[in-house]
Amino acid sequence: MTDKATRDLLDSVADAASALDKREIKLDNRLEAVEEKLRTDQTETIRERGLPADLVTTEQNALRRMSPFRNRWPEVAKFDERAAALEMRQGAVANELRELHERTQAAPAADAEALADWELQGRDGARPESSLPSIKSDIKRLQEEWEGLTRAVTRVLAEKSEYVAKHRRRLVKEAETYTNSALERYVQAINELETAREDLAAHRRASVWATLFPSELASQQPPDSLAGARKRALVPLGVSAPVAPGRVFEALRADASYLAEACTPEQRLAIEGRDPRQPLNTGWANDPAEKAARDQQVSEWLTSR
């Protein structure tokens, strides 16, 4: 094995460790960005087009649009697809309304020009009618269509919310099964990576020995630290001192355990059945009766949000 192969494997360990945290941060940021954009787009469209302003519904719909990035439930995805199709039609209505509002601004001048032409032509034919009534009628029609589509989207997303609430126990069980399976794969990959590193190091030592034996140099051993403590591997990890490879794999295993249970403090309180707005000492005991009551209250509390 060459020095380059050794460096590549060690670099991959360092890159994997740093990428995991970055990936989670990116996912969190992506979720927040999507939520914010949905709310902003809806609110701006309502404000600019003079549409019925039900900001509570807008906020609720933005929350109900959220789905897992890896949605393993086709029945849940169908709700999102139906809502997306309706919102695409809303987008077309919004574009038409924008054009009509622009025409409203230009209508007085356009009507005056039409009257001027009529006068210059000796008032030949019928007097040009104002275009504003027709434009305003079209705006009213499209505003009503927008309201109908908003209500349709709200119904679909409410159905989604009801479906999830009704099947929450099954969905959670399936998601936990996927989580456990992914955890096993991750831990297995770490174990295989650790073994592969040991094999690589051993084969390289044998290669050096075969090249230098019987020189006393054949018995020397290079430092067994991550990437030989080279900065290109340590800087992405945010450390400057040499790192024992074993600690890297311990950190990856700890990361696997963390990811399998990852959630925000507020999410953990809700999952445990405690209202995040209440003090921490208001939880339930762990006996079966209390647990059943807790599960019921969690379901009701989540559904009511």
Task: Give the per-residue pLDDT at 82.
Answer: 94
Percent of the chain with pLDDT over 70: 71
By C-alpha distance, which of 251, 256, 245 is closest to 200? 245
Task: Give the per-residue pLDDT at 205.
Answer: 94
Are the C-beta atoms of 153 and 86 separated by less than 8 Å? yes
Position 137 pLDDT exceeds 50: yes
Once rounded to an integer, what is the mean pLDDT over residues 174-186?
95
Q: Looking at this protein, which amino acid is placed at residue 119?
A: E
DSSP-derived secondary structure for 234-279: HGGGT--S---HHHHHHHHHHHHHHHHH---HHHHHHHTT--TTS-
Residue 250 tokens, joined: 């311990």
Are the C-beta atoms of 226 and 244 separated by less than 8 Å? yes
Q: Band of the pLDDT at 28, cuts 50, 70, 90?
A: very low
Position 254 pLDDT exceeds 60: yes
Task: Give the per-residue pLDDT at 20.
Answer: 45
* Angstrom distance (rounded) from CA 60 to CA 89: 20
- Entry pTM: 0.61
* Angstrom distance (rounded) from CA 280 to CA 266: 11
Find which of 17-26, 32-41, 59-68, 290-299 is predicted with most confidence, using mean pLDDT: 59-68
Once rounded to an integer, what is the mean pLDDT over residues 216-225?
91
Position 302 pLDDT exceeds 80: no
Task: Give the per-residue pLDDT at 50.
Answer: 53
By C-alpha distance, which of 21, 25, 62 is closest to 255? 21
Percent of the chain with pLDDT over 90: 50
Are the C-beta atoms of 225 and 244 separated by less than 8 Å? yes
Task: Compute the C-alpha angle 74/158/174, nearest 5°.
Answer: 35
Is the model more confident about 260 or about 65? 260
Task: Give the per-residue pLDDT at 27.
Answer: 41
Position 6 pLDDT exceeds 80: no
* Angstrom distance (rounded) from CA 233 to CA 185: 25
Is the model more confident about 286 or about 149? 149
* Angstrom distance (rounded) from CA 137 to CA 139: 5
pLDDT digits (tens, 9 = 90+) for 227-242: 898 888 889 888 889 9
Position 198 pLDDT exceeds 50: yes
Longest CA pairwise span in the chain (Å): 116
* Angstrom distance (rounded) from CA 303 to CA 60: 12
DSSP code of residue 224: -
Once rounded to an integer, what is the mean pLDDT over residues 52-65?
72
The upper half-sphere exposure of residue 125, i.e. CA atoms within 13 Å in the direction of its Cβ, equals 9
Is the model more confident about 202 or about 23? 202
Find all residues with CB under 8 Å of 152, minimum gap 6, and list them. 86
Are the C-beta atoms of 38 and 57 separated by less than 8 Å? no
Is the model more confident about 67 or about 170? 170
Once rounded to an integer, what is the mean pLDDT over residues 240-267?
93
Average pLDDT value for the chain: 80
Task: Give the per-residue pLDDT at 14.
Answer: 47
By C-alpha distance, which of 42, 80, 76, 77 is closest to 59? 42
Task: Give the per-residue pLDDT at 79.
Answer: 94
Task: Give the per-residue pLDDT at 216.
Answer: 92
Roughly how many angstroms between the first and final C-alpha of the chain, as a whole number?
59
Q: Band of the pLDDT at 151, cuts 50, 70, 90?
A: very high
* Angstrom distance (rounded) from CA 247 to CA 224: 12
Task: Give the per-residue pLDDT at 274.
Answer: 77
* Angstrom distance (rounded) from CA 212 to CA 6: 19
Is the model more confident about 13 or about 269? 269
